[in-house]
Amino acid sequence: MRELSLHILDVVENGVDAGAGFIRISILEEKAKNRLTITIEDDGAGIEDALLEKVVDPFYTTRRTRRVGLGLPLFRETSRRCDGTFTITSRRGKGTRVEAGFRLDHIDLPPLGNIAGCISALIAGHPEVDLLYTHRVNGREFRFDTREIKSELEEVAINEPRVLKYLDGVIRKSEAQIETAG
Protein backbone atom coordinates (compact mmCIF):
# COMPACT_ATOMS: atom_id res chain seq x y z
CA MET A 1 0.00 0.00 0.00
CA ARG A 2 1.37 3.37 -0.96
CA GLU A 3 0.05 5.32 2.02
CA LEU A 4 -0.19 4.52 5.72
CA SER A 5 -3.79 5.77 5.73
CA LEU A 6 -4.71 2.75 3.59
CA HIS A 7 -3.24 0.41 6.21
CA ILE A 8 -5.26 2.24 8.86
CA LEU A 9 -8.42 1.90 6.79
CA ASP A 10 -7.82 -1.84 6.35
CA VAL A 11 -7.24 -2.48 10.07
CA VAL A 12 -10.32 -0.45 11.04
CA GLU A 13 -12.44 -2.35 8.51
CA ASN A 14 -11.23 -5.59 10.15
CA GLY A 15 -12.47 -4.24 13.48
CA VAL A 16 -15.84 -3.29 12.01
CA ASP A 17 -16.12 -6.78 10.50
CA ALA A 18 -15.43 -8.16 13.99
CA GLY A 19 -18.40 -6.24 15.38
CA ALA A 20 -16.62 -3.23 16.89
CA GLY A 21 -18.82 -0.38 18.06
CA PHE A 22 -15.90 1.83 19.10
CA ILE A 23 -12.52 2.24 17.40
CA ARG A 24 -9.58 4.35 18.55
CA ILE A 25 -7.01 5.49 16.00
CA SER A 26 -3.87 7.15 17.34
CA ILE A 27 -0.94 8.60 15.41
CA LEU A 28 2.07 9.76 17.41
CA GLU A 29 4.95 11.58 15.70
CA GLU A 30 7.99 12.12 17.91
CA LYS A 31 10.52 13.88 15.74
CA ALA A 32 13.14 14.14 18.51
CA LYS A 33 12.98 10.35 18.93
CA ASN A 34 12.69 9.80 15.16
CA ARG A 35 9.58 7.67 15.72
CA LEU A 36 6.12 7.37 14.22
CA THR A 37 3.64 5.11 15.99
CA ILE A 38 0.21 4.16 14.70
CA THR A 39 -2.16 2.41 17.08
CA ILE A 40 -5.62 1.09 16.25
CA GLU A 41 -7.79 -0.41 19.00
CA ASP A 42 -11.30 -1.79 18.76
CA ASP A 43 -13.89 -3.37 21.02
CA GLY A 44 -14.83 -6.08 18.54
CA ALA A 45 -14.98 -9.84 19.01
CA GLY A 46 -11.23 -10.19 19.37
CA ILE A 47 -8.99 -12.93 18.07
CA GLU A 48 -8.35 -16.27 19.72
CA ASP A 49 -4.79 -16.75 20.96
CA ALA A 50 -4.25 -19.65 18.57
CA LEU A 51 -5.01 -17.39 15.60
CA LEU A 52 -2.88 -14.36 16.55
CA GLU A 53 0.21 -15.66 14.73
CA LYS A 54 -1.84 -16.72 11.72
CA VAL A 55 -3.42 -13.30 11.07
CA VAL A 56 -0.05 -11.94 9.94
CA ASP A 57 0.42 -14.84 7.52
CA PRO A 58 -0.53 -13.63 4.02
CA PHE A 59 -1.86 -17.08 3.15
CA TYR A 60 -4.35 -17.15 6.00
CA THR A 61 -7.70 -15.41 6.14
CA THR A 62 -11.05 -15.98 7.81
CA ARG A 63 -12.84 -14.48 4.82
CA ARG A 64 -14.74 -16.77 2.50
CA THR A 65 -14.38 -14.48 -0.54
CA ARG A 66 -10.64 -15.06 -1.04
CA ARG A 67 -7.84 -17.34 0.12
CA VAL A 68 -5.34 -14.72 1.22
CA GLY A 69 -5.42 -11.86 3.71
CA LEU A 70 -2.75 -9.32 2.89
CA GLY A 71 -3.72 -6.31 5.03
CA LEU A 72 -2.00 -7.11 8.33
CA PRO A 73 1.00 -8.88 6.75
CA LEU A 74 1.66 -5.87 4.50
CA PHE A 75 1.32 -3.45 7.43
CA ARG A 76 3.76 -5.55 9.47
CA GLU A 77 6.22 -5.74 6.58
CA THR A 78 6.03 -1.98 6.00
CA SER A 79 6.89 -1.32 9.65
CA ARG A 80 9.75 -3.82 9.64
CA ARG A 81 11.12 -2.43 6.38
CA CYS A 82 11.28 0.99 8.09
CA ASP A 83 13.26 -0.25 11.12
CA GLY A 84 10.05 -0.40 13.11
CA THR A 85 7.99 -2.71 15.22
CA PHE A 86 4.63 -4.39 14.86
CA THR A 87 2.46 -5.92 17.56
CA ILE A 88 -1.03 -7.28 17.61
CA THR A 89 -2.74 -8.17 20.86
CA SER A 90 -6.26 -9.35 21.35
CA ARG A 91 -8.62 -10.88 23.85
CA ARG A 92 -11.60 -12.89 22.75
CA GLY A 93 -14.73 -10.84 23.43
CA LYS A 94 -12.72 -7.74 24.40
CA GLY A 95 -11.21 -6.44 21.16
CA THR A 96 -7.94 -6.09 19.30
CA ARG A 97 -5.02 -3.67 19.37
CA VAL A 98 -2.63 -3.24 16.43
CA GLU A 99 0.46 -1.07 16.85
CA ALA A 100 3.02 -0.29 14.17
CA GLY A 101 6.13 1.77 14.77
CA PHE A 102 8.39 3.31 12.14
CA ARG A 103 11.65 5.22 11.93
CA LEU A 104 10.48 8.65 10.77
CA ASP A 105 13.46 9.40 8.57
CA HIS A 106 13.56 6.00 6.87
CA ILE A 107 13.73 6.31 3.10
CA ASP A 108 11.05 3.62 2.63
CA LEU A 109 8.51 5.18 4.99
CA PRO A 110 5.30 5.76 3.02
CA PRO A 111 3.51 9.08 3.54
CA LEU A 112 0.62 9.19 6.00
CA GLY A 113 -1.61 9.92 3.05
CA ASN A 114 -5.19 11.08 3.12
CA ILE A 115 -6.15 10.64 6.77
CA ALA A 116 -9.16 12.97 6.40
CA GLY A 117 -10.42 10.88 3.50
CA CYS A 118 -9.87 7.70 5.51
CA ILE A 119 -11.85 9.00 8.49
CA SER A 120 -14.58 10.39 6.21
CA ALA A 121 -14.89 7.07 4.37
CA LEU A 122 -15.19 5.20 7.66
CA ILE A 123 -17.90 7.56 8.91
CA ALA A 124 -19.77 7.37 5.59
CA GLY A 125 -19.69 3.60 5.49
CA HIS A 126 -20.16 2.87 9.19
CA PRO A 127 -22.06 5.72 10.87
CA GLU A 128 -23.06 3.40 13.71
CA VAL A 129 -19.42 2.92 14.76
CA ASP A 130 -17.87 5.53 17.04
CA LEU A 131 -14.36 6.69 16.16
CA LEU A 132 -11.84 8.51 18.29
CA TYR A 133 -8.94 9.80 16.20
CA THR A 134 -5.96 11.42 17.88
CA HIS A 135 -2.89 12.78 16.14
CA ARG A 136 0.03 14.08 18.21
CA VAL A 137 3.08 15.81 16.77
CA ASN A 138 5.80 16.93 19.19
CA GLY A 139 3.39 17.61 22.04
CA ARG A 140 0.63 19.22 19.93
CA GLU A 141 -2.58 17.26 19.58
CA PHE A 142 -5.60 17.08 17.31
CA ARG A 143 -8.54 15.06 18.64
CA PHE A 144 -11.64 14.05 16.66
CA ASP A 145 -14.43 12.11 18.39
CA THR A 146 -17.58 11.11 16.50
CA ARG A 147 -19.46 10.68 19.79
CA GLU A 148 -19.11 14.41 20.48
CA ILE A 149 -20.11 15.29 16.94
CA LYS A 150 -23.15 13.02 17.01
CA SER A 151 -24.36 14.63 20.23
CA GLU A 152 -24.10 18.08 18.59
CA LEU A 153 -25.85 16.95 15.43
CA GLU A 154 -28.82 15.57 17.37
CA GLU A 155 -31.17 14.27 14.66
CA VAL A 156 -28.95 14.93 11.64
CA ALA A 157 -27.07 11.83 10.49
CA ILE A 158 -23.28 12.03 10.77
CA ASN A 159 -22.96 10.46 7.33
CA GLU A 160 -25.18 13.08 5.67
CA PRO A 161 -23.15 14.37 2.67
CA ARG A 162 -22.98 18.00 3.85
CA VAL A 163 -21.85 16.89 7.31
CA LEU A 164 -19.19 14.61 5.83
CA LYS A 165 -17.88 17.40 3.61
CA TYR A 166 -17.66 19.75 6.60
CA LEU A 167 -15.95 17.14 8.82
CA ASP A 168 -13.47 16.30 6.07
CA GLY A 169 -12.54 19.98 5.87
CA VAL A 170 -12.14 20.25 9.64
CA ILE A 171 -9.82 17.24 9.73
CA ARG A 172 -7.76 18.47 6.75
CA LYS A 173 -7.34 21.95 8.25
CA SER A 174 -6.39 20.61 11.69
CA GLU A 175 -3.97 18.07 10.22
CA ALA A 176 -2.27 20.82 8.21
CA GLN A 177 -1.96 23.01 11.31
CA ILE A 178 -0.53 20.26 13.49
CA GLU A 179 1.96 19.21 10.80
CA THR A 180 3.09 22.79 10.25
CA ALA A 181 3.57 23.31 13.98
CA GLY A 182 5.46 20.03 14.30
Q: Beta-strand (E) ranges in 31-169?
A: 35-42, 85-91, 95-103, 130-137, 140-145
* Predicted local confidence at residue 164, as pLDDT: 96
What whole-number distance in Å separates Cα of residue 142 and Cα of residue 173?
10
Tens-digit pLDDT profile for residues 124-154 = 999 999 999 999 998 899 999 999 999 999 8
Give all domains of the chain, ordered by start, each with its CATH number.
Answer: 4-181 (3.30.565.10)
| 117-156: b (≥16 Cβ within 10 Å) or e | ebbbbbbbebbebbbbbebbbeeeebebebeebeeeeeee
> pTM of the prediction?
0.91
* Predicted local confidence at residue 68, as pLDDT: 40
What whole-number distance in Å separates Cα of residue 55 and Cα of residue 150?
33
Tens-digit pLDDT profile for residues 87-131 = 999 999 999 999 999 999 999 999 999 999 999 999 999 999 999
